[in-house]
Structures are given as structure tokens and as C-alpha cells.
Amino acid sequence: MKQQILKPENWQDFEELCKILWGEIWECPEIKKNGRAGQNQQGVDIYGIPKSETKYFGIQCKGKDEYTKAILTEKEISAEIEKAKNFKPFLKKLYFATTANKDERLEEFVRLKNVDHIESNLLEVHLFSWEDIAYLIEQNKRANDWYLRKINFATNFKVSVLLDNGDDFKKFKPILLKNYIKYKYQEEKFDISNYRYHKSPETQREDRIKIDTEPQPVRHFMNGTSHNKSSCVFFVKLKNVGNQQLENFKLYLTFEDNCYVSERVWKSQMFLDAIKYEYNIKWVRETDDLEFKTHNEILVQNDEVISDKICVRPTIEEPFCIIIPWKLVSKDFTEYGFLHLELNTEIREKHSQETYSSYFADETILQNYTGKIDSDN
């Protein structure tokens, strides 16, 4: 059975309810009451600028029926509209919120007023009777918590999204090796024993460049391990700093710049590591989004989860800043923010010669710096 929502006991509670309710609907934390009791409020009790809007909306609260034994009239509405026309700055919309029950005649009067105002480029006029307001209370959790459960904003969703240094900003100093490559042609000797595994010179060169420009901080080879000083490694810490648990939560990070490459850091510990590692992050390459999701779909108050490591590598010589937008989605709560990485790149130079059984034009590439400049081939 649907729960009946009782009307407020006094006009002060009703005005506070309207402020909380429309603050949530408008996504407007700056919503305010207009002046104080006894002052000229120019037909406006509450005002604010809803999200994605640029002009103020106003609310005129009319407590009726149960505690005033009065009804809302057309004359009263017209008088309040005339007052609201003098509100500064100009109102885009004026809402009448009343504890009076729905009245078809009054709703028609307001609709006609609204159309007339729109045609005259004046403020829009809308009426919300108690049945309309009760429905909105059911649809908006924070207002519902405050009004029905009497917890007066005890429900507070809030998260902290930071980098591994405990801040939303981190500096790196990656080193790129500017390699001036001269290619030399040498005819390949045919070896039938290796033919099955043979790669074309073009594929060999592409494979080498791919390894030399990848963002991974460590790569294991058959004859040793390479440490990439061009890689910038970090992880993300998500903490529930509100007083309600988060359910079914995911964190999305967007890597959208074309001045760097990004990947999750491999967990492999050796060459040809056959262990199947699990990761709590994955890339959605179609949207450039990284999704961070844990097996546990509930994050209780003051608890914290940490993402797997992420690596980025610059692809240009100049220092720059990476801005990473993030979005937290969960049951009943969504939040947005930004993380920042500053990459102060250092460039070192190298001249090398490489030999292939095909002709390639000499080129310069920004390759990974692994600790030393190898001697020319």
C-alpha cells in the first residue's frame, strides 16, 4: 500500500521542505530563502539557479488548508505574480508551491497565465499543489529522508577520489630518448629452419617501435628485465567520506589527450608469465574511459579501495598537464571531479644505426629511456 505523506504542521516547515526539495531537483546547493519574515520579498520566498541554467528561478510558498483554514485564490496568485515581476534580477520561472489540494479551476488559471507570459516574454508561472509535491518527495531521496524519516540531512553521500600521493595533483619527470636512426640495408640469408617463425622486415621494425614506445614501466625479456624511465605510474584511491554506504559503485576515468598513451600496468613477474592475473580496472577504448570496479559492490563509510596501477607515457617533447575527468556512479548517488598529472619531460639524445633486409628511410623517434644509451649498432 502506498504511504500517505502528511502535510507539514506549519508554514515554516513547509518553506524549509520546499527549499530542500527544489534544491535537490534543481541540483542547486546555493538555493536560498529570500530575506527574512516581515521584509518585502517581492513575491519570492526561495530562489536559486538550477543546474545548466543561467537565470534565477523563484518559489512562492503558500501554506493552506490544515493550519490556516484558507484557500489559494486566483486573485492571490495574480498579486504575487505582479510582485515577482519586480524581483531582481529578472526571474525566468516562478513556482507556486502550496499545501492546498489540487484544484482543476486554479490549475487552468495558472496554465493560461503561463502561456500569456511566455508569449509576452515574461516569467513562466507554474503551480504545484500538495499532491504534486508529495509525488516529488517520493521521487527525491534526500528530501524524502529529511521529511519522512526526520533525519535532517543525516543522509550525506560524499566520496574522495585522489591519486596515490593523497592529492588530486601529481608531478612526474619522465625521460624520453630522442633517437636519430639511420637504416642500413643488408640482404637476408635464407634459413629454412627458421622460415616458419620468420617475420617480414616491416613487421620486425613495427614490433621494435611498439616496444620502444609503450607506457609499461617494466618489461620482462628472455635475457633480462627492462625498466622504462619514460613511464609515469600511479593508482587511484576511492574513499567513502559520507555517512551512507555506496552500493553498486563504479569509477570512470577519462584519458582523452593525444599527447600521451595510457595502459594499466601489467602484473606479470617474469618472461612468459602464465599466471592469469585479475585486474579491477579496464579500458573502454571506444570512449577513452577507464572503468574501476571492485568485486565488493558495497563501500561502507570511511572505507577505501585502491585501483590497480595505471601507466602513462608522453608522446611529445614539451612538458604538459594531463587533466583526467572522473565520474563516480552508484545506487542513489553520482559525483564528478578531476585529477591532474604534470609531466615535465626530459629529453636525451641518441644516434643509432639499424640493419634490415628492406630499405627504410632514416627517421627520428621518441623512444623509451631504460637507464643507459646503448652504443650504436
104 membership: H or E segment, kind and range? helix 104-119
Q: Answer whether residue 169 shows pLDDT above 60.
A: yes
Q: For residue 20, name the pLDDT band (cuts at 50, 70, 90).
A: very high
Q: For residue 9, name the pLDDT band (cuts at 50, 70, 90).
A: confident
pLDDT score at 259? 93
In percent, the amount of the chain with pLDDT more than 90 equals 64
CA 253/CA 336 separation, integer angstroms: 10
pLDDT tens by residue, 210-234: 999 999 999 988 888 899 999 999 9
Cα–Cα distances in angstroms (integers) from residue 238 to residues 93, 102, 163, 334, in the given order? 39, 46, 9, 14
pLDDT score at 7? 84
How does strand 304-306 pair with strand 91-98? unpaired
Tell me the average pLDDT across 318-344. Answer: 93
pLDDT score at 152? 43
pLDDT score at 345? 97
Decide: 315 and 345 in contact? Cβ < 8 Å.
no
**Cα 65 versus chain centre, distance:** 44
**Cα 52 versus chain centre, distance:** 16
Which residues, 6 or more positions from 201, have their beta carbon under 8 angstroms from its beta carbon?
A: 188, 356, 357, 358, 360
Cell of 2: 502506498
Across the strands, what pairs with 338? Answer: 325
The whole-chain average pLDDT of the chain stands at 88
CA 237/CA 253 separation, integer angstroms: 12
**One-letter amino acid identity for 178?**
K
Tell me the average pLDDT across 300-307. Answer: 94
Handedness of CA 204, 207, 213, 216 (dihedral sign): negative
pLDDT score at 1? 34
Cα-only R_g, the chain: 32
pLDDT score at 221? 85
pLDDT score at 199? 81
Structural domains of the chain, with CATH: 11-148 (3.40.1350.10), 158-377 (2.60.40.10)
CA 239/CA 281 separation, integer angstroms: 16
